[in-house]
């Protein structure tokens, strides 16, 4: 058994059999690279954009001596005091950041409440497996404002455009008032 492989070195292996009369022919060579699971990512940082209602999670990853690149990162969230971690689906799992909308965080399986302290952790994965989870981030408050409205343009008593902000984006609603003279 070969146990002294050095990481990131390409090894070729072949097999041949022997009996009491002679050696058999060599098999085709198999090329193997000695690789490891990814390193542990750093603690994710969280920032809330109060205008868009988007949560931005970002972390640093040092590949170090590992030769097998990271194929994806897994981000999990939990409320302070809860041991229930839920995985977030990120748009591009190969990036060291993830944007999560408020609407996702209000619904199952998360169901965060106003002023909850959100904890986050991340791990890295490649073809050899997953890293251990990062340290947990602390201190990202779920403090999105309730919906509000303001008048953008007013055209007397006949037409008004309102701009409603619902955390995940902007919706334009036009209202028309039919007042007869």
Q: How confident is the model at residue 42 (pLDDT cuts 50, 70, 90)?
A: very high
- Environment class of residue 125 by beta-carbon count within 10 Å: exposed (0-12), middle (13-18) or buried (19+)? middle
Dihedral angle over CA of 82, 70, 56, 165, nearest 10: -100
Task: State the Cα–Cα distance between residues 37 and 132, nearest whole angstrom.
Answer: 9
Average model confidence (pLDDT) across the chain: 76
- pLDDT score for 122: 94
Are 36 and 128 within 8 A, CB to CB?
Answer: yes
- pLDDT score for 159: 55
- pLDDT score for 176: 41
Annotated domain spans of the chain = 45-142, 146-181
* CATH of the domain spanning 45-142, picked from 2.40.50.140, 2.40.10.10, 2.60.40.10, 2.60.40.3710: 2.60.40.10
Task: State the Cα–Cα distance between residues 100 and 133, nearest whole angstrom.
Answer: 19
Partners of 47 in the β-ladder: 56
- pLDDT score for 89: 79
């Amino acid at each position: 058994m070969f146990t002294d492989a050095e990481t990131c070195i390409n090894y070729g292996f072949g097999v041949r059999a022997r009996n009491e009369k002679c050696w058999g022919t060599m098999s085709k060579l198999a090329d193997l690279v000695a690789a490891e699971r990814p390193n542990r990512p750093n603690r994710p940082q969280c920032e809330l954009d109060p205008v868009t209602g988007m949560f931005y999670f970002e972390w640093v990853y040092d590949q170090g001596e590992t030769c097998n690149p990271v194929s994806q990162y897994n981000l999990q969230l939990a409320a302070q005091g809860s041991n229930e971690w839920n995985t977030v689906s990120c748009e591009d799992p190969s990036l060291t950041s993830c944007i999560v909308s408020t609407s996702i965080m209000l619904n199952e399986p998360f169901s965060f409440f106003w002023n909850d302290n959100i904890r986050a952790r991340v791990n890295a994965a490649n073809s050899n497996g997953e890293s251990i989870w990062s340290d947990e981030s602390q201190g990202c408050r779920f403090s999105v404002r309730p919906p509000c409205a303001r008048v953008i343009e007013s055209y007397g008593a006949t037409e008004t455009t309102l701009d409603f902000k619902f955390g995940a984006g902007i919706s334009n609603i036009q209202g028309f008032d039919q007042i007869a003279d």
